[in-house]
């Protein structure tokens, strides 16, 4: 068998096979490919295993070696055991590859770190074989006389530049009768072009001025996205559809693939597996929700994943409960499960529905373990088995490749957890193991499409001439050589035992040889593509660019070869590397304009009849009738429909705390209200405001813990001073509003000494200014609505805002509840009359098929008889403004 071997040829190479004829009996292989081939020929069945399992095994070996004796890694391992194990395993593999064989014999003379590493090697469970172990095993098998069915090995690199272990393998193959020699060099093109000048400079250092003939081009772009567009345009302008073009990448062509696909060109498919794909997010989120304090945002992400173990309709109920109360200990969470149980009874048999309900509940057993102390290993294993079972059960039905990858990841994770042999796994290590498992995965969804253009993931994988070479992202130095971890005494001890690990200088020299080979193998054109920024960060120049600097950075050289990618945005014709790229001006399409008046479909008009209105829906209608239609009639939820946060979260918590401490009956003593609120506070936070327990919110939580009990004590003192008694908190009310049904939930309903009812609306806000303005302008719609619900004989009951942070009660003049009276344009009864009049006008408009977006200030020709003007600032906080096409300057206000 004819082989071409290179240290960077394990992934894609160019050419993909030796010679120009049939590829049967010939192959281009890298280290892993060569080991697999030799192991198959020799009947060695042991294959490489995921690095996740090897790191777990090595961590276990380190812990066994560290029992009763401090080791040089002990301090690091106490802080981060997984990272320490991963780094030391890399050290160990480098030594084994170079010929190190740890034994008890002679260990006493070794330096202390060498002895510690050898003790770890000889302690604990067996280490699954890695590439270094397989290399030494195959070398030993060849020297023992195992038959090798290889007729020729050609080396992409010079043999002297290979790492020591691979030089040993080539020597063993040569001793077994296999010819080993370098790949035959191919002459460079004739002189006379910029490419020939550059290649001669690399060969013998001779310098000439570049002429700008398009055979060497440096494309500079402000961003990687623009660079991808430029390269894709250049490829698209090729009449041979990229045939003969090789893209040398750093291993990630995602942006370039997208640009090629937009032009109908085949993609290169050199993208790394992403942990952000929904299938892999399931794994991470399953573990993220077991920690306490619970992060409700993570739980919401789990419930809203497109690929989720819980059916979307059921997950929707749970997500809605979480948005109402960000926690799982309040009333909303069990209420959501009751709705799900009822839904299952409608959809399937009782026994089947009960089993499915229990399965779904097992996915959201949340907030049980501290990240520092860790999750019990048996619980982590159960989560892995549940994930693997769920993914395997439906792997062929939908998202097949992704689910199969998910099965692979979870089973590797399960094996690694078992190999660790620990009672618990800390949160940080669990995260590290998850990312390691995904890193080990080959992403089956990322593959090259058939076409003329080829791509390699490493400069060293280009080993034969190519017509045109594009060095994509010529701004990175590739993998940097590992630093030398051993001092002189340790290196001397290693050399005495026959182990000479590769030095950083030797590794860097091999990288430099790979970079040179890219330039030397181009025959018609060489393009360096350098984005100045990536993901907002400035890129550094490639180390090879510094080597070419004497040729490329002269004033003449720069002018001759440099092409700014931005030219594509400003010019109709741009010449790049011998091709004329023609850009046609895009047709200017006018964006949809903001629209104040909308024609409503009949089905929507029909849904406006027989509705119940609330204080919130009336506020939305008065502020903007179109928002009321979308939110309350259609039921749309905007893009900001996440968990309550900030003031809204604290306000919800304050309401729950008030409900817990203000029992119906006589107003309790303020001191007892304060004491009870303090006692109830922490439990309520955990059940209904869990985000406040997360790291980074300690100050906010401490502030609320101090201020809320004091605020409720002030409310109790105020109501007590007015002789009030509490009828109830969070009281549901309903009534007829003269033309429509009115419903609402009043925060606190009280009764005066004469038995009359009154409403207190609790608010937690930074400033009282907004509420004062509402009252002064006669727009306190909430208070007017609550007064109407509790009133009688056509008059509204007294109502007031109680601002908890400021500890004041605001209402209109003459209110028995107010500590601060606001001179108002109209009293609350007058406000209600205005609301009712505007409701009639706006509902009439809707029933005639007209929607009005008040924030745009249009609709003057509708001749509406309104008392309360629409809110022109309603668009600032509206999450539906994109639908009515509000100008961006308004939404950004």
SS (H, E, C) 198-212: HHHHHHHCCCCCCCC
Q: Report the distance separating Cα 221 and Cα 531, nearest Å.
A: 5
The predicted structure's pLDDT at residue 746: 95
The tokens describing 142, both together, are 């060849």
> Given a cut of 60, is residue 597 above it in pLDDT?
yes
> 891 pLDDT band (50/70/90 cuts)?
very low
Average pLDDT over residues 255-264: 91
CA dihedral 510, 516, 521, 525 (to 10 degrees): 150
Q: Which of the pair, 637 or 664, is modelled with greater confidence?
A: 664
Exposed (0-12), middle (13-18) or buried (19+): which is 562, by Cβ within 10 Å? middle
Q: What percent of the chain has pLDDT over 70?
A: 91
The DSSP-derived string for 506-554 is HHHHHHHHHHHHHHHHEEEEEEEEEEEEETTEEPPPPHHHHHHHHHHSS
The predicted structure's pLDDT at residue 710: 96
> 750 pLDDT band (50/70/90 cuts)?
very high
pLDDT digits (tens, 9 = 90+) for 88-122: 999 999 999 999 988 766 667 788 999 999 999 99
> Do residues 630 and 876 make contact, with C-beta atoms less than 8 angstroms apart?
no
Q: What is the pTM of this model?
A: 0.83
The predicted structure's pLDDT at residue 557: 58
Using the structure block, give the residue that is written with the tokens 């930074």: 766
> Given a cut of 60, is residue 889 above it in pLDDT?
no
Mean pLDDT check: name the lowest of 30-34, 620-624, 752-756.
620-624
pLDDT digits (tens, 9 = 90+) for 308-327: 889 999 999 999 999 999 99
Instruction: Work out the angle between the directed axes of helices 488-496 and 112-122 (0-180°, nearest 10).
Output: 50
The predicted structure's pLDDT at residue 68: 79
The predicted structure's pLDDT at residue 890: 40
Exposed (0-12), middle (13-18) or buried (19+): which is 240, by Cβ within 10 Å? exposed
Q: Which of the pair, 406 or 874, is modelled with greater confidence?
A: 406
The DSSP-derived string for 661-722 is H--SEEPPPHHHHHHHHHHHHHHHHHHH-GGGGSTT-HHHHHHHHHHHHHHHHHHHHHHHHT
> Given a cut of 80, is residue 868 above it in pLDDT?
no
HSE-CB of 653 using CA atoms within 13 angstroms: 36
Mean pLDDT check: name the lowest of 117-126, 183-192, 356-365, 366-375.
183-192
Mean pLDDT check: name the lowest of 241-255, 516-530, 722-736, 830-844.
241-255
> 683 pLDDT band (50/70/90 cuts)?
very high
Q: How far apart are the first and last CA of the chain?
A: 71
The predicted structure's pLDDT at residue 395: 54
The predicted structure's pLDDT at residue 540: 85
The predicted structure's pLDDT at residue 406: 82
The predicted structure's pLDDT at residue 866: 67
> Given a cut of 70, is residue 398 above it in pLDDT?
no
pLDDT digits (tens, 9 = 90+) for 124-151: 889 999 999 999 999 999 999 898 999 9
Q: Which of the pair, 405 or 157, is modelled with greater confidence?
A: 157
> Given a cut of 50, is residue 795 above it in pLDDT?
yes
The predicted structure's pLDDT at residue 95: 94
Number of Cβ within 10 Å of residue 580's Cβ equals 9
The predicted structure's pLDDT at residue 708: 96
pLDDT digits (tens, 9 = 90+) for 323-359: 999 999 889 999 999 999 999 999 888 888 899 999 9
Mean pLDDT check: name the lowest of 77-81, 283-287, 508-512, 871-875.
871-875
Task: For Cα atoms 160, 164, 167, give the angle at the middle one, nearest 5 degrees.
Answer: 55
Average pLDDT over residues 614-634: 90
pLDDT digits (tens, 9 = 90+) for 424-437: 999 999 999 998 88
Average pLDDT value for the chain? 87
pLDDT digits (tens, 9 = 90+) for 33-85: 999 999 998 888 666 688 999 999 999 999 999 887 889 999 999 999 999 99
The predicted structure's pLDDT at residue 888: 47
| Greatest mean pLDDT range, 480-489, 533-542, 757-766, 785-794 | 757-766
């Amino acid at each position: 068998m004819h082989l071409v071997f290179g240290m960077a040829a394990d992934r894609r190479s160019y050419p993909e096979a030796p010679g120009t004829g049939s590829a049967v009996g010939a192959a281009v292989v890298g280290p892993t490919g060569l080991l697999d081939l030799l192991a198959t020929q020799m009947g060695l069945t042991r294959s490489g295993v995921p690095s996740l399992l090897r790191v777990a095994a090595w961590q276990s070996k380190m812990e066994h070696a560290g029992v009763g004796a401090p080791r040089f890694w002990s301090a690091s391992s106490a802080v981060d055991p997984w990272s320490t194990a991963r780094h030391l395993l890399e050290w160990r593999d480098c030594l084994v590859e170079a010929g190190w064989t740890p034994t008890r014999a002679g260990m006493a003379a070794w330096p202390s770190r060498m002895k510690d590493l050898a003790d770890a090697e000889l302690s604990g469970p067996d280490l699954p074989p890695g590439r270094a172990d397989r290399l030494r095993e195959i070398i030993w098998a060849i020297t023992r006389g195992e038959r090798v069915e290889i007729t020729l090995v050609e080396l992409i690199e010079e043999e002297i530049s290979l790492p020591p272990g691979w030089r040993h393998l080539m020597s063993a193959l040569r001793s077994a009768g296999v010819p080993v020699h370098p790949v035959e060099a191919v002459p460079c093109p004739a002189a006379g072009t910029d490419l020939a000048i550059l290649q001669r400079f690399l060969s013998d250092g001779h310098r000439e001025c570049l002429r700008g003939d398009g055979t060497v081009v440096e494309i500079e772009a402000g961003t990687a996205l623009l660079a991808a567009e430029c390269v894709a345009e250049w490829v698209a302008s090729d009449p041979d559809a990229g045939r003969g073009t090789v893209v040398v990448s750093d291993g990630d062509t995602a942006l370039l693939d997208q640009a090629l696909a937009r032009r109908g060109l085949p993609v290169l498919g050199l993208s790394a597996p992403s942990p952000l794909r929904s299938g892999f997010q399931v794994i991470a989120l399953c573990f993220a929700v077991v920690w306490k304090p619970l992060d409700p945002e993570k739980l919401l992400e789990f419930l809203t994943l497109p690929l989720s173990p819980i059916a979307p309709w059921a997950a929707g109920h749970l997500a809605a409960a979480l948005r109402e109360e960000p926690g799982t200990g309040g009333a909303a969470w069990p209420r959501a499960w009751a709705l799900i149980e009822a839904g299952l009874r409608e959809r399937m048999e009782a026994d089947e529905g009960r089993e499915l309900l229990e399965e779904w509940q097992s996915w959201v057993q949340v907030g049980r373990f501290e990240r520092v102390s860790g999750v019990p290993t048996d619980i982590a294993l159960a989560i892995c088995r549940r994930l693997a079972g769920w993914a395997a059960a439906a792997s062929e039905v939908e998202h097949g490749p992704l689910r199969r990858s998910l099965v692979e990841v979870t089973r590797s994770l399960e094996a690694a957890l078992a190999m660790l042999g620990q009672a618990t796994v800390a949160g940080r290590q669990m995260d590290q193991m998850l990312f390691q498992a995904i890193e080990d995965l080959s992403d089956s969804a990322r593959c090259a499409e058939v076409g003329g253009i080829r791509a390699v993931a490493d400069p060293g994988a280009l080993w034969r001439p190519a017509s045109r070479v594009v060095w994509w992202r010529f701004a990175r130095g590739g993998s940097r050589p590992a630093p030398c971890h051993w001092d002189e005494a340790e290196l001397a001890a290693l050399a005495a035992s026959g182990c000479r690990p590769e030095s950083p200088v030797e590794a860097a020299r091999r990288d430099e040889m790979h970079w040179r080979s890219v330039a030397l193998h181009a025959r018609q054109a060489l393009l360096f593509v350098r984005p100045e920024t990536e993901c907002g960060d400035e890129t550094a120049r490639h180390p090879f660019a510094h080597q070419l600097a004497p040729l490329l950075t002269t004033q003449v050289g720069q002018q001759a070869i440099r092409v700014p990618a931005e030219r594509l945005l400003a010019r109709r014709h741009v010449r790049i590397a011998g091709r004329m790229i023609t850009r046609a001006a895009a047709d200017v399409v006018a964006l949809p304009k903001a629209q104040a008046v909308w024609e409503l479909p009949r089905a929507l008009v029909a849904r406006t009849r027989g509705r119940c209105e609330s204080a919130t829906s009336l506020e939305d209608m008065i502020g903007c009738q179109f928002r009321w239609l979308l939110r309350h009639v259609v039921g749309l939820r905007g893009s900001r429909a996440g968990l309550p946060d900030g003031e809204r979260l604290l306000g919800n918590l304050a309401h729950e705390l008030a409900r817990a401490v203000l029992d119906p009956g006589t107003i309790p003593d303020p001191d007892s209200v304060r004491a009870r609120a303090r006692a109830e506070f922490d439990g309520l936070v955990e059940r209904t405001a869990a985000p406040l327990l997360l790291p980074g919110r300690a100050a906010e939580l401490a502030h609320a813990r101090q201020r809320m009990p004091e605020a409720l004590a002030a409310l109790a003192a105020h109501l007590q001073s007015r002789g009030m008694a509490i009828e109830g908190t969070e009281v549901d009310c309903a009534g007829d509003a003269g033309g429509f049904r009115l419903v609402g939930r009043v925060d606190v309903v009280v009764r005066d000494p004469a038995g009359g009812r009154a409403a207190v609306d609790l608010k937690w806000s930074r400033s009282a200014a907004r509420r004062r303005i509402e009252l002064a302008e006669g727009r306190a719609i909430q208070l007017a609505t609550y007064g109407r619900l509790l009133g009688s004989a056509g008059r509204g009951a007294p109502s007031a805002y109680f601002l908890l942070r400021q500890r004041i009660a605001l209402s209109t003049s003459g209110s028995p509840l107010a500590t601060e009276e606001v001179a108002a344009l109209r009293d609350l009864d007058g406000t209600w009359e205005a609301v009712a009049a505007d409701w009639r006008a706006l509902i009439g408009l809707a029933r005639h098929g007209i929607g009005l977006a008040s924030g745009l200030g249009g609709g003057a020709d509708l001749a509406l008889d309104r008392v309360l003007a629409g809110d022109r600032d309603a668009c600032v906080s509206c999450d539906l403004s994109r639908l009515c096409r509000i100008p961006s300057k308004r939404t950004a206000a």
